[in-house]
């Protein structure tokens, strides 16, 4: 999904077998990883058969190979049991700050893009 006018992107990848949702923060061209300082990325996931939005806190993924760590990483992950076997859902990114610019309440469709 795009944030700003091609300022940054957040790519979501879902493992439908485990319900693992992984997010990658990327640059405006969605080519290079951009590290962020957030300790989590909060989402609200909406499914057609569940009335209330499901809160999801994506946790930072540390990587010794790249030197990424909590507070300085471009990858976040959470296991969301309600996403097992799903191929599509809607959601909202509560807040994301990339390169000093804050974005709030950004809606998206998975798969697909949102602004």
Percent of the chain with pLDDT over 90: 83
Range of the domain at 80: 2-110
Please indicate, yes or no, if residue 21 is contained in any of the structural domains. Answer: yes
Please indicate, yes or no, if residue 25 is contained in any of the structural domains. Answer: yes
**How many domains is the chain partitioned into structurally?**
1
Angstrom distance (rounded) from CA 102 to CA 72: 16
pTM of the model: 0.91
Please indicate, yes or no, if residue 22 is contained in any of the structural domains. Answer: yes
Query: In this model, does residue 10 exceed pLDDT 70?
Result: yes
Mean pLDDT of 89-113: 91
Mean pLDDT of 85-114: 90
Please indicate, yes or no, if residue 115 is contained in any of the structural domains. Answer: no
Mean pLDDT of 49-75: 93
Please indicate, yes or no, if residue 91 is contained in any of the structural domains. Answer: yes
Which CATH number does the domain housing residue 82 bear? 2.60.40
Please indicate, yes or no, if residue 98 is contained in any of the structural domains. Answer: yes
């Amino acid at each position: 999904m795009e944030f700003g006018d091609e300022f940054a992107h957040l790519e979501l990848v879902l493992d439908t077998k485990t319900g693992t949702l992984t997010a990658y923060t990327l640059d405006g061209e969605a080519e290079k990883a951009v590290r962020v300082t957030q300790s989590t990325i909060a989402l609200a996931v909406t499914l057609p058969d569940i009335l209330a939005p499901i809160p999801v806190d994506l946790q930072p993924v540390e990587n010794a190979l790249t030197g990424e760590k909590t507070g300085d990483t471009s990858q976040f992950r959470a296991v969301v049991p309600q996403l097992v076997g799903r191929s599509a859902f809607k959601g909202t990114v509560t807040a994301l700050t990339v390169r000093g610019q804050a974005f709030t309440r950004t809606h998206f469709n998975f798969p697909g893009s949102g602004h």
